[in-house]
Amino acid sequence: MQKRARLIYNPTSGHEVMKRSIADILDILEQAGYEASAFQTTPEEASAQKEATRAAKANFDLIVAAGGDGTINEVVNGIAGLEKRPMMAVIPAGTTNDYARALKIPRDNPVEAARVILKNQTLKMDIGQANDNYFINIAGGGLLTELTYEVPSDFKSIFGYLAYVVKGAEMLPQIKPIKMHLEYDEGTYDGEASLFLLGLTNSVGGFEQIAPDAQLNDGNFSLIVVKTANMAELVHLIALVIKGGKHVNDPRVIYTKTSKLVARPGDDDVKMMINLDGEYGGDAPMTFTNLQQHIEMYVNKEDIPDHAITSETPTQQSAEDLFVKEVEAISEEDIDGDGKIG
């Protein structure tokens, strides 16, 4: 039985360059062995998400999300909650295209991006879950993350991620820290912060050094908590990001790995808006969980640095854990240092 692929594309992304590329992309999918068809998203809310769910339940083998990070996020939200999930491919046509940047997929030519599928290189990618929603790249909270809501969509499409930088500089004097309660694998933070970020990749807003050691499939988020809201200090931290990710060792920053996070305001009367992949995702309290290797994606694997991919699978890790527990039970010795035997 021939495999089937469904291309879900946003016709307004990338100055409508997608519209001119559809026939070529469908031809490439046919070359890859798929019976291919296309769906053009509509202004209806969650149009891409609903079509992704429909295609998955109709047993399509591959869904290709073509558009900006928002379109990709919608497609992921359409399939992440299903027990049987099709494979995915990404064709970037948005502003920052953070996700495609992390997967080393060409960002300036949709047809070349589609050709990555012909390489037949895939990776099972981690996905984030935030209460009942899902995200592919970044979640955040705090006043600093709210600046993204202030940038008009047409401004984003023309000027790219520089729009965020410009707007951010404009808003920096207004930014104040808020009290946060954050529970993560290695501990708890109770105190003031201007923002927290949970990253699944190393690419945020066009910067590739915010989470410099991020892995795409290890089951962990990169958690960054920025404690200061002082304008001069924030500008200095941004400079440290650009200069090779040196912010991770700064005392004004918490930088750690965690498989989950519980976030809520430190004060009951404070509202903490949550940003999921650049869009408003609800208010805290919110629980974030890393769904390890949840969706298999076509990637340009040969160009992804080795350190960004773990060689272990969840099954292997579980088997290793079981082995250690068995040895502990026999030797009556705490080998893994968790304070328990067996």
Reported as half-sphere exposure (CB side, CA atoms, 13 A), residue 168 has a value of 16
Name the nearest CA neighbour of 2 among 38, 36, 35, 37.
Answer: 35
Confirm if 49 and 115 have CB atoms less than 8 A apart: no
Confirm if 63 and 52 have CB atoms less than 8 A apart: yes
Between CA 41 and CA 18 the distance in angstroms is 12
Between CA 131 and CA 70 the distance in angstroms is 18
Q: Which two tokens stand for residue 50?
A: 């609903």
Burial label, 326 (beta-carbon count in 10 A; 0-12, 13-18, 19+):
exposed
112 has catalytic annotation: no
DSSP label at residue 334: -
Between CA 208 and CA 165 the distance in angstroms is 15
Query: Reduced to 3 states, what is the DSSP secondary structure of residue 328?
Result: helix
Name the nearest CA neighbour of 290 among 136, 144, 176.
Answer: 136
Confirm if 122 and 296 have CB atoms less than 8 A apart: yes
Instruction: Name 42's Cβ contacts closer than 8 Å, sequence gap at least 6.
Output: none
Q: Which two tokens stand for residue 59?
A: 């047993």
Active-site entry in 279, 296, 320, 333: 279
In the numeric block, the tokens 């805290």 are attached to 284
The C-alpha angle 24, 26, 29, rounded to 5 degrees, equals 115
Q: Which two tokens stand for residue 272?
A: 């903490």
Active site residues: 279
